[in-house]
Amino acid sequence: MPTSSAANTPLSVPIQVRGACPHDCPDTCALLTTVDEHGVATRVQGNPAHPHTDGVLCAKVSKYTERSYHPERILTPLKRIGPKGQSGSGQFTPVSWDDALADIAQRLQTIAARASEAVLPYSYAGTMGMVQGESMDRRFFHKLGASQLDRTICASAGAEALVQTLGGKVGMKVEFFAEAQLILIWGSNSIGSNLHFWRYAQQAKRSGAKLVCIDPRKTETADKCQEHIALRPGTDTALAFALMHELITHDWLDHDYIAQHTVGWDALRERALQWPPERAAEVCGIPVEQIRQLAKDYGTTKPAAIRLNYGMQRVRGGGNAVRAVACLPALTGAWRHRAGGVLLSSSGQFPAQRAVLQRPDLMPAGKTPRTINMSTIGDDLLREASPAFGPKVEAIVVYNSNPVAVAPDSGKVVRGFAREDLFTVVLEHFQTDTADYADYILPATTQLEAWDIHLSYGHTDVLLNRPAIAPVGQARSNAQIFRDLAARMGFTEPCFADSDEALCRQAFGTAVDYALLESQGFATLAIPDAPFAEGNFPSPSGKCEFYSARLAAQGLDGLPDHLPNYELQGTDARYPLAMISPPARNFLNSTFVNVQSLRNIEGRPVLEIHPDDAEARGIANDAVVRVFNDRGSYECHATVSRRARPGVVNGLGIWWRKLGLNGTNVNEVTSQALTDLGRAPTFYDCLVEVEASTAQAAASVTA
Ligand SMILES: Nc1nc2c(c(=O)[nH]1)N[C@H]1C(S)=C(S)[C@@H](COP(=O)(O)OP(=O)(O)OC[C@H]3O[C@@H](n4cnc5c(=O)[nH]c(N)nc54)[C@H](O)[C@@H]3O)O[C@H]1N2
Ligand SMILES: Nc1nc2c(c(=O)[nH]1)N[C@H]1C(S)=C(S)[C@@H](COP(=O)(O)OP(=O)(O)OC[C@H]3O[C@@H](n4cnc5c(=O)[nH]c(N)nc54)[C@H](O)[C@@H]3O)O[C@H]1N2
Ligand code: SF4
Ligand SMILES: [Mo]
């Protein structure tokens, strides 16, 4: 089968078009889309030529044609004609692009003329593409002088922790995990959310490596590791300190590496010595022997690698936890080996030309618009104007995100979006929970239909995505929509005319070989195999900063420390259970929940609860339960299972509210409190109680 070099080149059919998976997933797979003689995509598969993808996609994206050609795709601009918050027939009516754009431009202009910061963009990583996610959109809002958005909802605590410790979002190269002899999979459900890393871990295991999973939940990944350490949520720093304690007392340290390439050892040493394994065992709720064994493994096995992921940073002390774990490889000198060290995110290694793409220089001279944290959108949409806050939010433009389903404390998020005086525009593929509150819904292209370019946070390749098919219906790419709006608003700077493909070329400038991207679909960055073998961290000191002078200068602790959860178990008798809400394997955040074949696999929204906790509450397997705290309540089905540790319940996410039970989901009970570093949400720092439901919710299940 010939491989097309350009989507529109008439080759013999079927053709295959190279692309990139757009989803918020560390794997950033290379795609091959097969297109038939009618221009219809018939199959999406992994590109076998791309080493990390290796021809394999997850179940979700293997169904990509089902999503792109879904009968419920939004195919025309829609205008609200009924009440907010409902998507039933008669609430929206199709309108022309011209009418929609003209009205939206006029309304944004009127609001911005009074107070440009009353307009708020709201976007995250529905697509990770740099063109459809952070180019023309940013130019548009910069020029308008709109409020800026602090994009914290996922990874900013861990990111800030890496920056303060290693100097950037840098780490091991993922392929070398295959050569490690010990792998700690720490706060990551790799099989569910980082499948292509798991392939390397499996290779290591076959070569005799020990795999240890550190996770409160007994995940499918934990099942496949030799050891599972089921600590309480929010106690990772205590465990890391106990490991350091043992490394010190058994002298499993690389003194030379510490002396040459770290800052703050004496102070860290002193703090770690306050954490004998017995103390940590108490805090973490795990056997002391497990900690001793883990320390011995980590201190004596070479090379030892840590796959850290974001699960541990969704609690109050999440930033400190990532800092503490990121210190470990410098203590043992694990960085000396290419299969040693830690990987949380590789995204800081890419030479992205963000200022060129986003053009912050377009902002009105003299005043930097305020910044609103996307994680507190519930509170911020409900805030009145004040000197501290600035103007009330009067217009919100949502794209690449579904905040009504995914943002914490949904009760407030829903009330905010329901405001009659809020003008809401949503760029979407589907009628999501958020789109239900839109005044206008604009149909966006999917990854099969638009140009884009991608970096990755789980490997070090750049990928180019060519459109494989023409836009479905009247869909336009996000960049095209903002280009069109810019023209209607009279923005005349030449950068507003850049095409999507031109934006692809601008993303990395000459730092990445674009011709190679065009010919093979991906280009690998030139990075040393063991980048920190001789120090050379991108931090201010060039060293691994146990002690961060920059944090100290902000009045914060310069060293990592254990910060107990805000909602600490045992402190509120009404809510004795800690709840975490990690992703369901067959959804990607709230994306794919409306794809029937994937929803069939997940079945229905579930809460995993340990048999002891279920029995104490008279909850039977499969029963409908009510999960509640002071913020709200939601209903789902109990899965009585030892995947949950005693005292901790797992509310698997993130269902569309309207496809769940009683129009609710897990974020009804999560809080808007923010992490220690990075201003991130604390989804997994949440106390609840669970009871058998009296309502006949089962009837409303959409299987
Ligand atoms: N299939 C699938 N894949 C995904 C996603 C998805 O929704 N579905 N989402 C994507 C996105 S946006 C992201 S950010 C990543 C998320 O993936 P990860 O970065 O792996 O983060 P989480 O899934 O939040 O949590 C990972 C694991 O951490 C555990 N955990 C929870 N609290 C703690 C804690 O306090 N300490 C420790 N040690 N572990 C804890 C959870 O039980 C979970 O198994 O995955 C991406 N990939
Ligand atoms: N309780 C709980 N809540 C969580 C989490 C959790 O673990 N527990 N995880 C959090 C995390 S890690 C994250 S990253 C956030 C994710 O939150 P979001 O970034 O909002 O992710 P999604 O829910 O996948 O919604 C993305 C939306 O973008 C749309 N989209 C995709 N591509 C395009 C495009 O090209 N153009 C336009 N206009 N739209 C597009 C999709 O249709 C989808 O509806 O959720 C957070 N919420
Ligand atoms: S979601 Fe992740 S694993 Fe699945 S195809 Fe996309 S990048 Fe690959
Ligand atoms: Mo995320």
Q: Is this structure's pTM higher than 0.85?
A: yes
Report which ligand 1 atom has the smallest distance to the Cα of 192: 1
Q: Nearest C-alpha to atom 3 of ligand 3 is from which residue?
A: 58
Ligand (nearest to CA of 197):
3
In this predicted structure, the answer to whether residue 701 has a pLDDT above a threshold of 50 is no
Contact present, 563 and 317 (Cβ < 8 Å): yes
CA of 668 to the centre of ligand 3 (A): 28
- State the pLDDT confidence band at 703, using cuts at 50, 70 and 90: very low
Residues with CB under 5 A from ligand 4 (ion): 154
User: What is the rounded CA–CA span in Å between residue 375 and residue 407?
Assistant: 6
Q: Which domain holds residue 454?
A: 78-154+369-524
Q: Is 32 in the pocket of ligand 2 (CB under 6 A)?
A: no
Residues 302 and 173 in one domain: yes
Question: How many domains would you assign to the chain?
Answer: 4
Q: Is 589 in the pocket of ligand 2 (CB under 6 A)?
A: yes
Please name which of 544, 561, 551 lies closest in space to residue 332, comparing C-alpha atoms: 544
Supply the CATH number for residue 638's domain.
2.40.40.20
Domain end, chosen from 68, 99, 121, is at 68
| Proportion of the chain above pLDDT 90, given as a percent | 94
Report which ligand 3 atom has the smallest distance to the Cα of 46: 5
In this predicted structure, the answer to whether residue 597 has a pLDDT above a threshold of 50 is yes
CB-based burial, 491-508: b 16+ in 10 Å, e otherwise: beeebbebebbebbbbbb
* Type of residue numbered 430: F
Report which ligand 2 atom has the smallest distance to the Cα of 124: 19
CA of 62 to the centre of ligand 3 (A): 9
Ligand (nearest to CA of 24):
1
Residues 146 and 161 in one domain: no
Q: Nearest C-alpha to atom 38 of ligand 1 is from which residue?
A: 187
The ligand 1 site (C-beta within 6 Å) comprises 24-25, 154-155, 186-189, 192-193, 214-217, 219, 233-234, 236, 309-312, 315, 580, 582-583, 585, 587-589, 684
CA of 53 to the centre of ligand 2 (A): 22
CA of 470 to the centre of ligand 2 (A): 24
Please name which of 453, 508, 524 lies closest in space to residue 127, comparing C-alpha atoms: 453
Taking residues 141-152, what's their average pLDDT?
Answer: 98
Is residue 303 reached through a cis peptide bond, with omega within 30 degrees of 0 on the bond before it?
Answer: yes
The residue count for the chain = 703
Taking residues 628-641, what's their average pLDDT?
Answer: 97
Ligand (nearest to CA of 374):
2
Contact present, 605 and 652 (Cβ < 8 Å): yes
Residue to substitute in 237, 306, 310 for testing ligand 1 pocket (most ligand atoms within 8 angstroms of CB): 310
DSSP 8-state class, residue 692: E
Q: Taking every pair of C-alpha atoms in the chain, what is the biggest distance, in angstroms? A: 73
Please name which of 427, 403, 382, 401 lies closest in space to residue 657, comparing C-alpha atoms: 403
Contact present, 466 and 445 (Cβ < 8 Å): no
Least confident of 333-337, 530-534, 651-655: 651-655
Report which ligand 3 atom has the smallest distance to the Cα of 58: 4
Contact present, 605 and 212 (Cβ < 8 Å): no
Half-sphere exposure of 402 (CA within 13 A, CB side): 26
Residue 526 burial (CB count, 10 A): 6
Residues 388 and 455 in one domain: yes
Task: Report if residue 542 sits inside a domain.
Answer: no
Task: Report if residue 557 sits inside a domain.
Answer: no
Residues 88 and 42 in one domain: no
In this predicted structure, the answer to whether residue 491 has a pLDDT above a threshold of 70 is yes
User: What is the rounded CA–CA span in Å between residue 265 and residue 341?
Assistant: 18
- Per-residue model confidence as pLDDT tens digits over 547-565: 999 999 999 999 999 999 9
CA of 252 to the centre of ligand 2 (A): 43
What single string gives the DSSP state of each residue in 626-639? EEE-SS-EEEEEEE
Taking residues 590-619, what's their average pLDDT?
Answer: 94
Residues 378 and 456 in one domain: yes
Return the H-helix or E-strand segment holding 101.
Answer: helix 97-115
Report which ligand 2 atom has the smallest distance to the Cα of 450: 35
SS3 string, 542-594, reads CCEECCCHHHHHCCCCCCCCCCCCCCCCCCCCCCCEEEECCECCCCECCECCC
Q: What does the pLDDT read at residue 4?
A: 41
Which residues sit opposite 441 in a β-bridge?
78, 426
Report which ligand 2 atom has the smallest distance to the Cα of 406: 47
- State the pLDDT confidence band at 14, using cuts at 50, 70 and 90: confident
For the chain, the average pLDDT equals: 95
Residues 186 and 204 in one domain: yes
Q: Two tokens at 627?
A: 């999960």
Q: Nearest C-alpha to atom 11 of ligand 2 is from which residue?
A: 154
Residue to substitute in 24, 29, 189, 198 for testing ligand 3 pocket (most ligand atoms within 8 angstroms of CB): 29
In this predicted structure, the answer to whether residue 263 has a pLDDT above a threshold of 90 is yes
Contacts of 505 (CB under 8 A, 6+ apart): 514
Residues 699/413/148/350 CA torsion (nearest 10 deg):
-40
Task: Report if residue 327 sits inside a domain.
Answer: yes
Task: Report if residue 361 sits inside a domain.
Answer: no
Angle ∠(305,306,310) on CA atoms, nearest 5: 160
In this predicted structure, the answer to whether residue 499 has a pLDDT above a threshold of 80 is yes
Angle ∠(38,44,48) on CA atoms, nearest 5: 125
Please name which of 669, 656, 568 lies closest in space to residue 626, comparing C-alpha atoms: 669
User: What is the rounded CA–CA span in Å between residue 39 and residue 15?
Assistant: 9
- Per-residue model confidence as pLDDT tens digits over 462-476: 999 999 999 999 999
Taking residues 640-659, what's their average pLDDT?
Answer: 96
Domain end, chosen from 280, 309, 344, is at 344
Residues 612 and 689 in one domain: yes
- Per-residue model confidence as pLDDT tens digits over 269-322: 999 999 999 999 999 999 999 999 999 999 999 999 999 999 999 999 999 999
Contacts of 445 (CB under 8 A, 6+ apart): 132, 467, 471, 472, 475, 476, 477, 478
Residues 165 and 184 in one domain: yes
Q: What does the pLDDT read at residue 467?
A: 98
Q: Is 433 in the pocket of ligand 2 (CB under 6 A)?
A: no
Residues 198 and 267 in one domain: yes
Ligand (nearest to CA of 134):
2
- State the pLDDT confidence band at 607, using cuts at 50, 70 and 90: very high
- State the pLDDT confidence band at 641, using cuts at 50, 70 and 90: very high
Residues 57 and 96 in one domain: no
Residue to substitute in 23, 124, 607 for testing ligand 2 pocket (most ligand atoms within 8 angstroms of CB): 124
The sign of the dihedral angle between the CA atoms of 457, 204, 191, 562 is: negative
Task: Report if residue 161 sits inside a domain.
Answer: yes
Q: Nearest C-alpha to atom 5 of ligand 3 is from which residue?
A: 57
User: What is the rounded CA–CA span in Å between residue 518 and residue 641?
Assistant: 49
Taking residues 492-511, what's their average pLDDT?
Answer: 98
Q: Is 427 in the pocket of ligand 2 (CB under 6 A)?
A: yes
Q: How far apart are the first and last CA of the chain?
A: 39
Q: What does the pLDDT read at residue 89?
A: 66
Task: Report if residue 555 sits inside a domain.
Answer: no
Contact present, 24 and 589 (Cβ < 8 Å): yes
- State the pLDDT confidence band at 12, using cuts at 50, 70 and 90: low
Supply the CATH number for residue 271's domain.
3.40.228.10
CA of 155 to the centre of ligand 4 (A): 6
Residues 49 and 117 in one domain: no
CA of 309 to the centre of ligand 1 (A): 7
Supply the CATH number for residue 48's domain.
3.30.200.210
Task: Report if residue 553 sits inside a domain.
Answer: no
* Type of residue numbered 537: F
Q: What does the pLDDT read at residue 270?
A: 98
CA of 373 to the centre of ligand 4 (A): 15
Q: What does the pLDDT read at residue 695?
A: 59
Residues 331 and 199 in one domain: yes
Domain end, chosen from 68, 93, 122, is at 68
- State the pLDDT confidence band at 699, using cuts at 50, 70 and 90: very low
- Per-residue model confidence as pLDDT tens digits over 218-256: 999 999 999 999 999 999 999 999 999 999 999 999 999
The ligand 3 site (C-beta within 6 Å) comprises 21, 23, 25, 27-29, 57-58, 60-61, 195, 588
In this predicted structure, the answer to whether residue 359 has a pLDDT above a threshold of 50 is yes
Task: Report if residue 470 sits inside a domain.
Answer: yes
* Type of residue numbered 526: A
